Amino acid sequence: MKRFGRGGAALVVLLLLWSLGPMLWQLYTSLRTPEALLGDGAGPGGGWTLANYVQVLHGAPPFWRYLLNSTVVGAISTLLTLLLAIPCAYALSRRGGLLRLVVSGGLLAAAVFPYVLLFLALLQVARQFGLANNLLALCLPYAGLSLPLAVLLLQAAFAELPVELEENALLEGFTLMQRLRWILLPLMGPAVVSTGLLVFLFSWNEFPIALTWLSRSELLTLAPAMARIAGSSVFTVPYGAFAAATVLGSLPLLALLLLFQRQIVAGLTQGAIKG
């Protein structure tokens, strides 16, 4: 397994080109003038501009508004999901038998269910209860859709903790809340963080439900905002403003991934092993 010569190095370069090339191309495009993109002879060194970013950031609403909306929805959905998933995962991990089998099976089926199928019924619920155009209400379906994976990941983490730990705390007279808060959860830090990150990523990126629940442009989250930009004629060729929007929309996630890549990778692979 030690042989890793030039062929291997070439493959690594190829992999990086394939993964990063399209993103670097967006970055390059976002910094070019329309004339330079259409090949109308800007000399070498010419044709660079920040105008695309200025245009996107001074739109109505400005682009940072979408990022803010997505961040708020992502953060609240994550908190709500964890709040509901932790007690459920705890109870599930402490039970055996039929109940656990049925609930786990149902959770796995729900986790692989293509949730886009649910958008119409959820939209009707939103209309009936006046939840459309409400960022906080949007967190309810997001939490519901994230719960299957979150409960499965967390209950696997609970199941790994030694039972003696909890039995001792029980003898000391700890209540259930105290045991969860002071004994069990502090030991589950990594699992809670990686589960939370996966939920945040999902909520940040979610498209069909945001698309149908939100219509006021100052409330749009990032995904439907990008689609609206794609559909508007203002930004047809050239693509400088498109590209500036994709770069700005990617940056927060790239930062998140680089900061927490270990936890995200752990969350994903845990899901693979125990799911």
Partner 1 sequence: MRLRALLLMAPALLLLLAVFAWPMLEYAWLSLHAQSVFTGLEPVPVGLANWQRLLGDGRFWQDAGQTLRFAGVSVGLELVLGLGIALLLHQNWRGRGVVRSLSLLPWALPNTVMALGWRWIFDDPNGPINALLGGLGLATLPFLASPQLAWIATVVADVWKTTPFVALLLLAGLQMIPADLYDAFALEGGTPWQALRRITLPLLRPYIFIVLLFRLAQALGVFDLIAVLTGGGPASSTESLAVYAYLNAMRFLDFGYSATVMLGMFLLLLAGSALLLLLPRGQEVRS
Residue numbers 69-98 binding partner 1 by CB under 8 A: 84-85, 87-88, 90-92, 94-95
Which parts of 137-176 interact with partner 1 (CB under 8 A)? 140-141, 143-145, 147-148, 151, 176
**Distance of CA 60 to CAs 55, 71, 127, 260, Å?**
10, 19, 26, 33
Q: Which lies closer to partner 1 via its Cβ, residue 171 or residue 273?
A: 273
CA–CA gap between residue 191 and residue 267 (Å, rounded): 7
How near is the Cβ of 238 to partner 1 at its closest, in Å? 7
Segment holding 167, helix H or strand E: helix 163-171
CB of 4 to partner 1, least distance (A): 5
Residues numbered 34 to 63 that lie near partner 1 (CB under 8 A) are: 37-39
Both tokens of 43, joined, read 């000399």
Q: Which of 98, 163, 171, 237 binds partner 1 (CB under 8 A)?
A: 237
Q: Which of residues 95-124 bind partner 1 (CB under 8 A)?
A: 95, 99, 103, 106-107, 110, 112-124
48 forms bridges with which residues in the sheet? 32
Instruction: Please say which residue, 12 or 136, places its beta carbon nearer to partner 1.
Output: 12
Residue selected from 184, 229, 244, 263 as contacting partner 1 according to rule CB under 8 A: 229
- List the one residue from 33, 42, 207, 217 that touches partner 1 (CB under 8 A): 207
Spatial separation of the C-alpha atoms in residues 257 and 222, rounded to whole Å: 17
Rounded to an integer, what distance in angstroms lies between the CA atom of residue 86 and that of residue 96? 17
Residues 129, 132, 134, 135: is their CA dihedral positive or negative? positive
Helix (H, G, I), strand (E, B) or coil at 252: helix
Can residue 246 be called a binding residue for partner 1 (CB under 8 A)? Answer: yes
CB of 45 to partner 1, least distance (A): 19
Rounded Cα distance, 183 and 173, in Å: 13
Q: What are phi and psi of 265, to 5 degrees?
A: -60, -45
Which lies closer to partner 1 via its Cβ, residue 187 or residue 207? Answer: 207
- Among 29, 77, 78, 263, which residue interacts with partner 1 (rule: CB under 8 A)? 29
